Amino acid sequence: MSHIDPVSGEPYESQKPSTAEPPRAPALGEPMSEQTAAAVMRRLKIVLSTMALVLGVTTIIVTIAAGGGATARGILLGVVLAGMGGARLYLTTRHDV
């Protein structure tokens, strides 16, 4: 359903077909721009940092559920993973840099 301007008889601006060329994805093997590469790397850092954080917390929970004490290897490994993931996530996502 097209909306027509009653005065001019032409479609509203939002209904007119775009004359701009749509952005295209780079072909396989074509280099990315530096801005695109930086955005991909930032997203990858966020995903991997989040995975390390979740893995660390999960390791702590599983170790406690299995009856591990405060100095169990699972607790220590979980604290290291969660700390590493959390720190990297914080440093990657802070906006004042």
Per-residue pLDDT tens for 35-81? 888 888 999 999 999 999 999 999 999 999 999 888 899 999 999 99
Nearest Cα residue to 75 out of 67, 29, 19: 67
Count of other CB atoms within 10 angstroms of residue 11: 13
Both tokens of 66, joined, read: 């299995």
| DSSP state, residue 95 | S
Taking only the tens place, the pLDDT of each residue in 29-40 is: 778 788 888 888
User: What's the rounded Cα separation, in Å, for the pair 41 and 45?
Assistant: 6
Cβ atoms 74, 63 nearer than 8 A: yes
pTM attached to this predicted model: 0.64
